[in-house]
Amino acid sequence: MHPTTVDTVSKSKRSWMMSRIRSKSQLDVILHGYLKGWHIKHRMHPKMLASPDALIKPDILIFVDGCFWHSCPMCGRRPKSKLSYWKPKLDANQARDARNTRALRKRGWRVIRVWECRFRNDPHTVLSKLTRLRN
């Protein structure tokens, strides 16, 4: 282990913990429930560029960005260990998000990006943005 690197669990335990992370989260279930409850026709996790969380026909894509993985300015905390790994990784995630959003908009999609913390605290934020875009 590098002298400045501090990890409180073993390598095998960390590997197991990371393997439990799934691309479809509880937030996706909540988003689906709200969209279904509002009778909004949608498809969850369409197979397309940037893997949006939901597609609202005909042309709206919703992304609920995780605060850690996408570096939320309000509550996203950067790790204190393995900075040589995490800083480039999280910076690359942000750059990729911006690139993908530009590419999708260039192709005619309307994109809604919402932070995980905002969605958890007020799911109606997404629905009000969606309503404004649909009208």
**Percent of the chain whose pLDDT exceeds 90:** 56
Residue of higher predicted confidence among 108 and 19: 108
In the structure, what pLDDT confidence band is assigned to residue 1 with cuts at 50, 70 and 90? very low
Q: Is 62 or 130 the better-scoring residue by pLDDT?
A: 62
pTM: 0.79
Contact 112, 129 (CB under 8 A): yes
Q: For residues 18 and 132, what is the distance between their CA atoms, to the nearest angstrom? A: 38
Nearest to 115 by CA among 81, 69, 82: 69
CATH number among 3.40.190.10, 3.40.190.170, 3.40.960.10, 3.40.50.1980, domain 24-134: 3.40.960.10
Structure confidence at residue 7 as a pLDDT band (50, 70, 90): confident
Residue 95 in tokens: 């750059």
